[in-house]
């Protein structure tokens, strides 16, 4: 179960591009909360606080407590709009969650123990992480901030598939229900160096027998 993360918000009365632009100029971020039985509500958040929160995995994969003067609504972050080149968050979308209904969301994968594994210790092996996150299904109370993938026993040439990830209690991966072809690789340990093929013996002998002076004379002709 994830920790509690409280995000303070304020109701936003003015809407439209002009109002959003003024909000951003004043150091705030326009956002919306939707879902459930309540109507969508326009809100605003302090940009610096949101920016600091956005540097953590939990901001994207945990249940957040949006607090409006003590009135708390549990939500999931569903969309982040960023400025194309500035370190600025432009808009946020939050979806209300029902604690009694299962939800689907993506959570990050944290890989541990790779340097201790047989594959990790070999200089000739390249370990690639094919996925950095996975979509899971669970009740809000069971939502993990991340899923840990232990690579300490990763063997040379091994492949870890989606079905081999150890999941927390109450958590499942919906994609695995779609068939074996959806059990994709998560981690691959393969040889990274390809040795050059040896030259044919005849070519090697011929080049060794012909002196450089004779090669030069042939070229002059």
- Residue 217: pLDDT over 90: no
Helix residue ranges per DSSP H, the chain = 17-25, 47-53, 58-61, 118-121, 201-209, 212-220
Say yes or no: domain 103-191 is CATH 3.40.50.720.
no
Q: What is the pTM of this model?
A: 0.75
Task: For 28-46, write each residue's pLDDT tens digit.
Answer: 999 999 998 889 999 999 9
pLDDT of amino acid 213: 47
- Residue 76: pLDDT over 50: yes
Strands (E), the chain: 5-8, 10-11, 28-34, 41-46, 64-68, 71-82, 89-96, 103-112, 125-129, 133-138, 147-150, 159-161, 185-191
pLDDT of amino acid 90: 94
Task: For 163-172, write each residue's pLDDT tens digit.
Answer: 999 999 999 9
DSSP 8-state symbol, 2: P
Q: What percent of the chain has pLDDT over 90?
A: 67
pLDDT of amino acid 208: 45
Say yes or no: domain 5-96 is CATH 3.40.640.10.
no
Task: For 133-163, write each residue's pLDDT tens digit.
Answer: 999 999 999 999 999 999 999 999 999 999 9
Domain ranges for the chain: 5-96, 103-191
Task: For 179-211, write each residue's pLDDT tens digit.
Answer: 999 999 999 999 876 544 555 444 544 444 545
Banded pLDDT at 221 (limits 50, 70, 90): very low
Identify any residues that bridge with 41 across adjacent strands, giving them in sequence order: 33
């Amino acid at each position: 179960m994830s920790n509690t993360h409280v995000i303070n918000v304020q109701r936003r009365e003015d809407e439209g591009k002009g109002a959003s632009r003024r909000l951003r100029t004043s150091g705030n971020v326009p956002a919306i909360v939707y879902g459930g039985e309540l109507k969508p509500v326009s809100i605003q958040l302090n940009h610096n606080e949101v920016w600091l929160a956005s540097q953590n995995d939990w901001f994207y994969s945990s249940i957040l407590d949006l607090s409006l003067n003590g009135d708390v609504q549990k939500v999931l972050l569903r969309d982040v709009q960023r400025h194309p080149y500035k370190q600025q968050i432009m808009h946020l979308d939050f979806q209300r969650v029902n604690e009694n209904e299962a939800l689907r969301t993506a959570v990050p994968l944290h890989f541990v123990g790779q340097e201790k594994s047989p594959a990790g210790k070999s200089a000739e092996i390249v370990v690639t992480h094919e996925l950095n996150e996975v979509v899971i299904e669970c009740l809000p109370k069971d939502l993990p901030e991340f899923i840990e993938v232990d690579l300490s026993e990763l063997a040379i040439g091994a492949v870890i598939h989606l079905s081999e990830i150890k999941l927390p209690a109450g958590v499942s991966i919906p994609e695995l229900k779609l068939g074996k072809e959806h059990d994709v690789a998560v981690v691959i340990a393969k040889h990274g160096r390809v040795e050059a093929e040896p030259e044919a013996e005849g070519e090697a002998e011929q080049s060794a027998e012909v002196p450089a002076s004779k090669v030069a004379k042939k070229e002059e002709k």
